[in-house]
Amino acid sequence: IPGRTNLCSNHSVGTPIDLPPSNTLDIRSSLDSLNLEGYVSFDDVHNAAKDFGNIYQSRPLAILHPRSVSDISSMMRHIVHLGSTSNLTVAARGHGHSLQGQALAHQGVVINMKSLRSHDIKIYKGRQPYVDVSGGELWINILRETLKYGLSPKSWTDYLHLTVGGTLSNAGISGQAFKNGPQINNVYQLEVVTGKGEVVTCSEKRNSELFYSVLGGLGQFGIITRARISLRPAPHMVKWIRVLYSEFSAFSKDQEHLISKENAFDYLEGFVIFNRTDLLNNWRSSFSPNDSTQASQFKSDGKTLYCLEVAKYFNPEEANSMNQETEKLLSELHYIPSTLFTSEVSYIEFLDRVHIAEKKLRAKGLWEVPHPWLNLLISKSSIFDFATGVFNNIVTSNNNGPILIYPVNQSKWNKHTSMITPNEDILYLVAFLSSVMPNSSGKNSLEYLMKQNQRIINFCEEKNLNVKQYLPHYETQQEWKSHFGNKWETFSKRKYAYDPLAILSPGQRIFQKIT
């Protein structure tokens, strides 16, 4: 993006990025003169110049703090009206937890979606319960509110301090996705402000093309201002289990076995552990097994281990039958016998587990550091070659963060959304979640980890593995075309239909504003 600074290079954080264009003052006053319920600000733009990734920065010209949907529509219409006289683009910013500048808008307008949150989380009970929420609402707030009615959304991300609009623009994948699909599979209806400023309600039956374009659409077609999300009865408790494997093939076979069963576990993930003693814990969880002494004494003896993580939901009165079912399921698996670690926690504690770790890291000043993450979706037919090549030769330590690896049943996912995946029924999500600690160097430096990510991508290409990036990031349109493959034409046609001037979400770097 013109003006985007890579913090990996020599630019320091906070350096002004470039000189404002000569008509900036006119544009500012035109934005200032809009008749809004909320307001436009210019002096706090540094707050929207970075994201959780902490690798790229780019200042917007202004931030819109909308109080209503019509504020967002007015802003979009105004920018369309300015047409080629301005370079203004617009990025909706949820919680800014993107990793590579996806929610930034260089010298454009960032819409602070959280200010649209009006605390009107409306819950509808009944045979198919659902909740109506603002696109800027945090998932944690939705959980807290729905729990008051004994209900809960079905599909989650590992971390709940993300907004509805932010995760629905990608997919929202976690350990429930094998069963319920990603979050984009669990939406009944959306209200969207398109790139033309139109406010449109859409669903599977009504304006369905816009509905499916926006879900997984990387913010390219419209701004999600409201979403109707399906709910299920919420359990009170969760049995949380981890077991270890020394062979990747046994680990993945058991994972696939479990996701093929209808009523097995409610959540399934897994991660890789390289020669460590603090085997069961990492920053993204607060797992504290009943037998913590045994867990702390277990040594990997220099081996690479694979940890299967599963969870079963239950209510206290069902504890006995849940334990019996769980024992039966575990008896079908092939983990190292002495490595069964269990814990029982409340449902909210389980779902909000990463936040507990966040608080600890924040206290040490280790949360707002660079995060060179790489997320991949890999087909079942490629996963063994991937694991053998990557975990033996490219990534051989966990020093920089957890590495998740778990399968999902794509056959249960809706195929009409904009999300791009490898074309196979079972896919693995593999996530390299690195953090760069202050004063890191060598193999722990940002430069090294970014190169390591590129080596993983190159390896997949050389071996012709069936892989797509999740939360994708590319530098050129050619790379995007190849990411979308035969869906590129539909994606770009839809872009032209809903955001013809290519105003929306410039930080994704897919299209350039037409001036």
Residues with catalytic function: 97, 158, 269
Q: Which region, judged by CB under 6 A, interacts with ligand FAD, from 194-202, 257-265, 456-464, 504-512?
A: 504-512
Q: Which region, judged by CB under 6 A, interacts with ligand FAD, from 16-24, 88-96, 300-308, 493-501?
A: 88-96
End-to-end CA distance of the chain: 15
Q: Contact between 398 and ligand FAD (CB under 6 A)?
A: no
- Cα separation, 444 vs 285, whole angstroms: 22
Give the residue with the Cβ less far from ligand FAD, 51 or 254: 51
Q: Contact between 308 and ligand FAD (CB under 6 A)?
A: no
Q: Tell me if 394 sits within 8 A of 459, measured CB to CB.
A: yes
Q: Contact between 96 and ligand FAD (CB under 6 A)?
A: yes
Give the residue with the Cβ less far from ligand FAD, 333 or 351: 351
* Tokens read off for 253: 């076979």
- Orientation of helix 477-484 relative to helix 488-498, angle to 10°: 120
Q: Which region, judged by CB under 6 A, interacts with ligand FAD, from 7-15, 215-223, 272-280, 438-446?
A: 215-223
Q: Tell me if 446 sits within 8 A of 8, measured CB to CB.
A: yes
Residue among 98, 141, 252, 304 that touches ligand FAD (CB under 6 A): 98
Which positions from 3 through 62 interact with ligand FAD, judged by CB under 6 A?
51-52
Which positions from 149 through 188 interact with ligand FAD, judged by CB under 6 A?
157-159, 162-163, 165-167, 169-174
Alpha carbon 59 to its chain's center: 23
* Tokens read off for 218: 């990387």
Nearest approach, Cβ of residue 164 and ligand FAD (Å):
7
Which positions from 217 through 236 interact with ligand FAD, judged by CB under 6 A?
218-219, 223-224
Give the residue with the Cβ less far from ligand FAD, 52 or 56: 52
CB atoms within 10 A of CB 122: 11
Binding residue count for ligand FAD, defined by CB under 6 A: 37
3-state secondary structure 329-379: HHHCCCCCCCCEEEEEEEHHHHHCHHHHHHHHHHHCCCCCCCCCCEEEEEE
Q: Contact between 73 and ligand FAD (CB under 6 A)?
A: no
- Cα separation, 159 vs 359, whole angstroms: 12
- What does the DSSP 8-state code read for residue 237? E
Q: Is 369 exposed, middle or buried (0-12, 13-18, 19+ CB in 10 A)?
A: middle
Nearest to 179 by CA among 421, 430, 411: 411
CA distances from 414 to 130, 187, 215 (A): 19, 11, 10
Give the residue with the Cβ less far from ligand FAD, 143 or 333: 143
Residue among 55, 72, 76, 92 that touches ligand FAD (CB under 6 A): 92
Q: Tell me if 378 sits within 8 A of 430, measured CB to CB.
A: yes
Q: Contact between 95 and ligand FAD (CB under 6 A)?
A: yes
Q: What Rg do the C-alpha atoms of the chain give, in angstroms?
A: 23
Nearest approach, Cβ of residue 105 and ligand FAD (Å):
8
Phi, psi of 269, deg, nearest 5: -140, -165
Nearest approach, Cβ of residue 247 and ligand FAD (Å):
26
Alpha carbon 433 to its chain's center: 12
Q: Contact between 403 and ligand FAD (CB under 6 A)?
A: no
Q: Contact between 410 and ligand FAD (CB under 6 A)?
A: no
Give the residue with the Cβ less far from ligand FAD, 172 or 197: 172
- Cα separation, 368 vs 50, whole angstroms: 11
Give the residue with the Cβ less far from ligand FAD, 159 or 265: 159
One symbol per residue from 443 to 482: x for binding ligand FAD (CB under 6 A), - otherwise; what is it? ----------------------------x-----------
Q: Contact between 93 and ligand FAD (CB under 6 A)?
A: yes
Q: Contact between 89 and ligand FAD (CB under 6 A)?
A: no
Q: Contact between 135 and ligand FAD (CB under 6 A)?
A: yes
Nearest approach, Cβ of residue 136 and ligand FAD (Å):
6
Give the residue with the Cβ less far from ligand FAD, 286 or 339: 286
Q: Contact between 492 and ligand FAD (CB under 6 A)?
A: no
What SS3 state is found at 240? strand
Nearest approach, Cβ of residue 398 and ligand FAD (Å):
17
Nearest approach, Cβ of residue 354 and ligand FAD (Å):
6
Q: Contact between 418 and ligand FAD (CB under 6 A)?
A: no
Placement of tokens 């350039």 in the chain? 512
CA distances from 312 to 1, 152, 175 (A): 45, 15, 11
- Cα separation, 46 vs 182, whole angstroms: 33
CA distances from 446 to 10, 306, 319, 365 (A): 13, 26, 46, 17
Give the residue with the Cβ less far from ligand FAD, 167 or 281: 167
Residues contributing to the site for ligand FAD (CB under 6 A): 51-52, 91-98, 102-103, 113, 135, 157-159, 162-163, 165-167, 169-174, 218-219, 223-224, 354, 471, 505, 507-508
